[in-house]
Structure 1
């Protein structure tokens, strides 16, 4: 926009200057010609005074002295056909002037000024010749000065237009950046109202919209919390009813279904909380280290060798600490749930941010490395939650096999600026 405004001002200024300077340039040229013609006419008249009042020898000296003084060739055509001064051809204009009429006429390469002098023996003609350079002396310098002035005015106009355009564009660009941050999930983004009234109005409208979004998300979080409480109560009652059954097998079967239902409800609630909670940040190094420390006690009880390679951090990622902790718990929980006791596992955290959890168990069955499918008799909800969390942050999740045939789950998250941890 700044470029287009500068081009518009340059075009407008150029048109105005052309409309002003072109007539002015022609006027300067005409003035220079008139000045040269007037000066030459005065020179010819000064010589004409001596014609008829002095002898031919004195007249020749007078003409020669005047020519040296003015720098213009001067010729006197006498009535008898003879000439005094610079050699010159007797042109039709000279013949016309010999009839008693003073005039100026175009000549090859310039202009001749002719002054008729009436005398006793007839009419003499004093001719002064002006070249084209004499007629335009000083015009070129004036034109160059006018051109420089025009270019300077155009440059000043463009500079002023650029400053004015910057005062308009900068607030609009800042408002656009704030809107992009809101679209990316940063609900704390706000625009600074500045610049022209229209730009301030747009910034204030965006800020009101962001505030309204915050209010709506707060209401949604409250609704999710209420939903959680409402669903937990009947699930608890259903579990108590299952435990009160006399048939142990029937109680275990129904209890397993209740567990599946509770996991599904938990996944739905967590997903709703994630979508309504806005974009937050956490230190992946701190979260992963804390969850590995928590699960290490269980690994020790089950005699599972635990190998860790954790970057000390900080490693900021665009996920809430609770959400990242749930992802790590889901992955480690799968290892403990689907591998025999004593199976070794390893946790690695590297910049990037890459979280890799592997084990030396049976691994994923062939053809079962699909989304939401664990292949170990479970619902696969844990892996689905991890995948969705990673993709919502701009990352990814990959399933693979370790060097010893075990399962390896790699979660890659974008690493942010460490400054966001202080603001989170």
Structure 2
């Protein structure tokens, strides 16, 4: 934008200078020519009174003197055809002037000035002088150089002013762009400094108001999430008390384990909301800090929890886990919530007795590949694009449509992605690539 504004001012200045300097240059040229012609005419006007009163010898001497003083040839053509003064040919202009008309004839080498003198008894005499082009354009080229220098100086001055003006406009716009990018990068504390023209100051103020409003809305959302999670603790506590009153120890232990899982999920939501709030406020820990967990251990723990329900519903569970730690760039509670959402979909959308498998293997370059596949009816036939099922709130099975979106966002936050496809032998297959930590942890993740 700065370059375009400078070019615009340069083009406008050039047009104005051309419209002003070109006519002025032509005027200077014509004025110099007219000045030389007037001076030559004034020189030969002194001979007019001598033509009718002085003899030929005196008239020739006077013509020579006038020519020598003016530096131009002066010739007097008498009616009898004789010529006095500087020798010169009898041109067509001289013949025309003998009719009693004074005139100026422009030629290829200069101007011929002819003055007709009447009153002689033998006819009309003609006084002729010649002004060469060098005299007609004397000082013109120097004046043109001065004008050209003035034009260049004005153009440079205009460019300097245009650059200052463009800088005053571009600097606030660049700052607004920088602040917008920082806000897009979740740095919600970024603010623009209102500067520049009133319109840009208004935009900066509106951007700051928008950032403040986004912070306020996110803070309200986190508070509502924390409040909702906290409210769930009361019914969970009631369920725990009821489970402890069961007479069957195995049933009481099974219900208690499930209550513990729900409490962990609720606690994870609260911690996640606080962690995001602290990060947006700029107090989320040192720069570059990231959450890391051992994907193999988290998957092993959650599979052990869901294996009890799989046994109760007659499902065959196949597990393939790495025998070494698999650090990934994701908190343990978020990875547990992802696996719970995917396994919950298996139990919710496939009939009892349908088997499923869970694999978590290392990837080349670090990270892990988590796959959940089942032998159920597969993806809905009405869904042509499997990616449409991952959209938040989209569900072809009557559920909330949040499980796959949770998994997709978790994979994206870790630097990976989610793939949804049909299995080789039927059923559905969900594969998550989980990125490795950007820095190796000091201690293996627990």
TM-score range, shorter chain: 0.5 to 0.7
Within-5 A mapping of 1:233-382: 233-273=234-274, 279=280, 316-317=287-288, 324-325=290-291, 327-328=292-293, 364=360, 370-371=369-370
Preserved CA contact (<8 Å) 2:74 2:130: yes
CA distance in 1, matches of 2:326, 2:254: 34
Preserved CA contact (<8 Å) 2:294 2:327: no
Determine the structure 2 residue equivalent to 1:81.
81
Pick closer, same or farther for the CA change 1:354–1:275 going to 2, 3 Å.
closer
Preserved CA contact (<8 Å) 2:370 2:434: no
Determine the structure 2 residue equivalent to 1:90.
90
Determine the structure 1 residue equivalent to 2:150.
149
CA distance in 1, matches of 2:265, 2:225: 15
Q: Where does the alignment leave 5 or more consecutive residues of structure 1 unmatched?
A: 288-313, 356-362, 376-383, 399-408, 416-424
Within-5 A mapping of 1:156-235: 156-235=157-236
Determine the structure 1 residue equivalent to 2:336.
none
TM-score, normalisation: structure 2? 0.64
Task: Report whether the alignment pairs 1:38 with 2:38.
Answer: yes
Determine the structure 2 residue equivalent to 1:401.
none
Deviation per CA, 1:276-303: give whole Å up to 9, x if none: 55546689xxx8xxxxxxxxxxxxxxxx
SS class of match (1:153): helix
SS class of match (1:104): strand
Determine the structure 1 residue equivalent to 2:444.
none
Preserved CA contact (<8 Å) 1:185 1:278: no
Preserved CA contact (<8 Å) 1:330 1:386: no
SS class of match (2:193): coil
Measure how far apart 1:195 and its partner are. 2.0
Preserved CA contact (<8 Å) 2:183 2:190: yes
Deviation per CA, 1:60-96: give whole Å up to 9, x if none: 4443443343332222212221223444332232122
CA distance in 2, matches of 1:18, 1:281: 58
CA distance in 1, matches of 2:107, 2:361: 108
Matched residues, number: 352
Determine the structure 1 residue equivalent to 2:69.
69
Within-5 A mapping of 1:79-118: 79-118=79-118
Determine the structure 2 residue equivalent to 1:378.
none
Determine the structure 1 residue equivalent to 2:19.
19
Deviation per CA, 1:391-422: give whole Å up to 9, x if none: 448x4599xxxxxxxxxx9845679xxxxxxx
Task: Report whether the alignment pairs 1:6 with 2:6.
Answer: yes
SS class of match (1:236): helix
CA distance in 2, matches of 1:107, 1:338: 110
Measure how far apart 1:38 and its partner are. 0.5
Determine the structure 1 residue equivalent to 2:307.
none
Measure how far apart 1:204 and its partner are. 1.7
CA distance in 1, matches of 2:273, 2:283: 19
Determine the structure 1 residue equivalent to 2:381.
none
Pick closer, same or farther for the CA change 1:331–1:266 going to 2, 3 Å.
farther
CA distance in 2, matches of 1:222, 1:336: 30
CA distance in 2, matches of 1:225, 1:282: 19
Pick closer, same or farther for the CA change 1:370–1:239 going to 2, 3 Å.
farther
Q: Where does the alignment leave 5 or more consecutive residues of structure 2 unmatched?
A: 305-321, 332-358, 375-404, 419-432, 440-446
Deviation per CA, 1:211-243: give whole Å up to 9, x if none: 222222222222222122112232233334334
Taking only aligned residues, the RMSD between alpha carbons, in angstroms, comes to 4.4
SS class of match (1:125): strand
Measure how far apart 1:334 and its partner are. 6.1
Deviation per CA, 1:358-393: give whole Å up to 9, x if none: xxxxx94699x6447599xxxxxxxx9999568448
TM-score, normalisation: structure 1? 0.67
Determine the structure 2 residue equivalent to 1:298.
none
Pick closer, same or farther for the CA change 1:410–1:229 going to 2, 3 Å.
closer
Deviation per CA, 1:227-285: give whole Å up to 9, x if none: 221122322333343344333332333334334434444455555555655546689xx
